[in-house]
Structure 1
Amino acid sequence: MAKINEFETATYAYSSKGKRRFSPEANMHYRYSSADELIKNTESLSEIIQHHMQHQVPRLKTLRNYYEAENETILRNNRRREEHLADHRAIHAFGEYVSNFMQGYMVGIPLKTQYPDDDINEKIRDMNRTNDADEHNSDLVLDQSIYGRAYELLYRSRQDEIRFSISDVLETFVIYDETIERNPVAGVRYIKSQFKDDVTVYLYTSDVIITYALGDDFKLTHQDEVAHAFKGVPIIEYENNKFRRGDFERVLNLIDLYDEAQSDTSNYMSDFNDAMLKIVGNLDIDAEEAKEMKKNNILMLQTEPDAEGRHSQADADYIYKKYDVQGTEAYKDRIKNDIHMFTHTPNTDDEKFSGNQSGEALKYKLFGLELKRSTKERLFKKSLRDRYRLINNIMSIAAEGSFDVNEISIIFTPNLPKSLKDEIEAFVKLGGDLSDETKLSMLSIIENPQEELEKIKNENPQTKAVSYDFPKQDDDDEQEEEVTDDE
């Protein structure tokens, strides 16, 4: 491949003022015949890196800005033409709300991995604890939601441990082959020095890590090469959906509209305080007197007599733009509802979204979110198995054991609010019982159940066990009464 699919080199720019917010190539996959060919043709690798910087990074930065409540459209310069008028900028963190909600809904309850063999299962658990996998997976889901993609880097630490970490989306991408299977052939990370203009490029293939220095002319200079034993590209991409679209990306324009509407409302309230005073009539008053009266919130109008000696009428009021309160608020509510509808997130301010419904009732209202979650979950599991496949490869080489990746069970639990009362009642009806420590742990006033049990035991030395029974059901009470009658 002499050229990378004839990639353009950003001869045009896209902004929110144009018809499209992002470049048409802002979310494309990079593809190349093989890693060996890519290493031989560093010019091609240079073109891909340049394309990523100029076409894909601007989109990613915009999505990050909207997540961090730095909404670009409302913060643009010269929003209002009149310099003397108020120019408030109301910014709404819808991006943060949507992505945090998705993160909490998917992995608020940490996902579970299980393996049939106890020894292998314990090794996987130890590895997850070493890497703090719960927090790591949560960060992956958040990046997925914001950018539509997330990247994970696997490596062997100096302590000879298998580690995996998040790789920044703005400086990472994966190159796939040209087959229908679209297998990864290489992963790229380019790091810009914080205090210098130096850029270091790391190219990860299935067996080596090559380090390059990137010059101002995008020319790559080979610096180092190190082998690794993962037998696969150790950078794994987690896609949010088929199109690698962020969860709030499609409603960026609606967020802008809501920001504008709220800002205009605030500006109206400020401008109303500075409204222009209009006085009608032939007045016997000069400008200085009028200013003094206005300063003291008093306006005394005295008209001059006409030719016939009669006094004309005088009137004073303020000139300001009329504000349709009902129409404006309805407009803002409609935009807000559209944002929630198209992102499949609940509007908790909606009166119809009751807070006392059961988890089952909420599932019907969150049906669209459930469909979205199932797609995100399938893609996450696919990439997660790639992680454990690479881990299995290096564990086999290091004689640390091996396992069948397809045997790993990955379980997601949607984080829905549940009624503890209903759960306990169902448990009791099934004949279940709980330990005293567990029962005490359900009370918010008890910080340490074990310590509370010790206190009870010390206060009642003759009592060996303390029993906190749940209320018995009506059927049980009737049976006890029947036994008493027989006696």
Structure 2
Amino acid sequence: MATQDLLEQCLKAFREQQAKYQVYKNYYEGKHDILKNYKFSESRANMKIVVNWFKKFLHDELAYSLNNPVNYIDKTGNGKYIDRIDTDFSTWEKVHNHKLMLKASTFGHAYELRYLKDGVFSAGVLTPLNTFVLEGNDVDKTVQLAMHFYKENQFSDKEKVDVYLPNKIVQHYEVEEGDKLKNLGHSEHAFLTVPVKVVEANLERISMLDDLKPLIDSYNETLSNMVNELSDFRMALLKLVGTKFEGEDDVALMIKQGVIQLNTGSDVDYIIKNLPDQFANSTLKEIKENIYKQASQIDTNEKMQSNTSGSALQGRLITLTNKCATIHTMLEQCIKSRLKDYFYFLNVSDGIVYDYRFIKQKFTMNVPTDILMLADAFSKLKDGFALTTLYSLFPFVENPQMEYKKFLKEREDMMGNEEDLDAIKVDDPVA
């Protein structure tokens, strides 16, 4: 059991963590610094423009990385465990993986909580804004405890805490005034280890925003200044030479009629700004290019030559592909840990003993696929590779093992129909 002093130290560290990571949530939601820091000008336009590059890049990366489901392959060739995984995971895993890596990429890391729902293994997503994890100083950074903070319900300000410990222990607390913890008792979870695992966006646990924030702020301010300059341009001053209006009624009458009468030698003109649009546009373009470079992204709206080769297109995607491969690597580590807890649960509930390390994960990038090329490769490689391995190459195949079974079943049905037709004699009456 965790001591009260240790938990209150963790609570203090959690409050500091919340303040640190709130900025990531704000920028994802479009609440950028310019909304409160933009310099106000009296009697001038003060529009604040926010371009949410951070959110756009996160969604683009995840759509590219995880829109295709994860394929599971059993190294031993035993398909029954793959079928069991598909049965228990298919209703929640794809959305869960997407949400998990979205939060991990937003904050630099996130957390996965494993639990049982109606006796079935499941998992949820937690973030540094609602969870504190105490890791050990060992090489593996073993999770020693995890504190999940939440409101009692949507109409209550009462804050509750679930403290997850090893050996199936969950302590329950209520946060009182002054951040004091009131013990509400304890219950059990289903696992021997702490069921909350750290999921990293990269090895450094760094968010994309750490590199992009200064550039995003510069882009927002530059664009806001340009828009406000254009807005102020409509406030051009009327210049009168050799004449003057006698009163405000003359100005109103001129605007209404659209006509003005002048004495000989008089002139009317507008005083307008000479905007350095070339300088502003080049600055904006330079900032935008640096944002894309720093984020390892490509501008899909950029016009390309019609004769651009496939190799050149792949070359443009190489940095983004490498970044998405990192997402796959980090998620793969989480899935292996998830499967370890899953097979422990199956061992306890159903007596199933199986090594989770025999299950391999295969990720497929969400890019246009040349099906004819894959079909040609399939026909040439089918004598040298397992068919389930080749099935996993096709992005629309969610479960290669199941797909192969369906193929065998259809062939069996077709052979049975052919035998039935052969058994019918030509002179037999047709019913």
TM-score range relative to shorter protein: 0.7 to 0.9
Alignment partner of 2:52 out of 83, 89, 93: 93
Does residue 115 of structure 2 align to residue 160 of structure 1? no
| Cα deviation code 1:104-147 (max 9, x no counterpart) | 111111111222322222222212124x2111111112112222
Aligned pair count reads 380
Aligned residue for 1:317? 269
User: Offset of 1:271 from its aligned partner?
Assistant: 1.2
**How far, CA to CA, are the matches of 1:279 and 1:44 in structure 2?**
78
Aligned residue for 1:395? 346
Aligned-residue CA RMSD in angstroms? 2.8
Does residue 161 of structure 2 align to residue 209 of structure 1? no
Alignment partner of 1:341 out of 293, 301, 312: 293
Give, as a single letter, the amino acid of the residue that structure 1 aligns with 2:224. Answer: S
Aligned residue for 2:69? 110
SS at match of 1:170: coil
Output aligned runs, 1:3-402, within 5 Å.
36=1, 39-40=2-3, 42-53=4-15, 55-68=16-29, 70-76=30-36, 79-82=39-42, 84-115=43-74, 116=76, 117-130=78-91, 132-157=92-117, 159-193=118-152, 194-207=154-167, 208-281=169-242, 283=243, 285-288=245-248, 289-302=250-263, 313-352=265-304, 360-402=311-353
User: Offset of 1:235 from its aligned partner?
Assistant: 0.8
State the TM-score, normalizing by the size of structure 2: 0.80
| Cα deviation code 1:181-210 (max 9, x no counterpart) | 311111110112332331111110112111
Aligned residue for 1:409? 360
State the TM-score, normalizing by the size of structure 1: 0.71
Bigger relative contact order, structure 1 or 2, given CA contacts below 8 A and separation 6+?
2
Q: Does the 8 A contact of 1:174 with 1:188 survive in 2? A: yes
Structure number with larger C-alpha Rg: 1
Q: Does the 8 A contact of 1:229 with 1:397 survive in 2? A: no
**How far, CA to CA, are the matches of 1:45 and 1:417 in structure 2?**
50
Q: Does the 8 A contact of 2:135 with 2:143 survive in 1? A: yes
> Unpaired runs of 5+ in structure 1?
1-35, 304-312, 433-440, 442-463, 465-487
**How far, CA to CA, are the matches of 1:390 and 1:427 in structure 2?**
35
Aligned residue for 2:414? none
Give, as a single letter, the amino acid of the residue that structure 2 aligns with 1:92. Answer: V
Deviates more, 1:383-392 or 1:199-208: 383-392
**How far, CA to CA, are the matches of 1:380 and 1:393 in structure 2?**
20
Q: Does the 8 A contact of 1:230 with 1:391 survive in 2? A: no
Q: Does the 8 A contact of 1:88 with 1:266 survive in 2? A: yes
| Cα deviation code 1:38-71 (max 9, x no counterpart) | x12x223223223322x32234332223223x23
User: Offset of 1:325 from its aligned partner?
Assistant: 1.8
Alpha-carbon distance change, 181 to 298 in structure 1, aligned in 2, over 3 angstroms: same
Give, as a single letter, the amino acid of the residue that structure 1 aligns with 2:285. Answer: D
Alpha-carbon distance change, 427 to 146 in structure 1, aligned in 2, over 3 angstroms: same
Q: Does the 8 A contact of 2:10 with 2:134 survive in 1? A: no
**How far, CA to CA, are the matches of 2:379 and 2:365 in structure 1?**
24
Q: Does the 8 A contact of 2:112 with 2:124 survive in 1? A: yes
The sequence identity of aligned pairs, in percent, is: 26
User: Offset of 1:408 from its aligned partner?
Assistant: 1.4
SS at match of 2:205: coil
Give, as a single letter, the amino acid of the residue that structure 2 aligns with 1:373. Answer: C
| Cα deviation code 1:18-39 (max 9, x no counterpart) | xxxxxxxxxxxxxxxxxx5xx1
**How far, CA to CA, are the matches of 2:26 and 2:323 in structure 1?**
24
| Cα deviation code 1:218-257 (max 9, x no counterpart) | 1112112112331111011210012222234421221222
Alpha-carbon distance change, 163 to 424 in structure 1, aligned in 2, over 3 angstroms: closer
User: Offset of 1:358 from its aligned partner?
Assistant: 6.7
Alpha-carbon distance change, 246 to 284 in structure 1, aligned in 2, over 3 angstroms: closer
SS at match of 2:34: coil
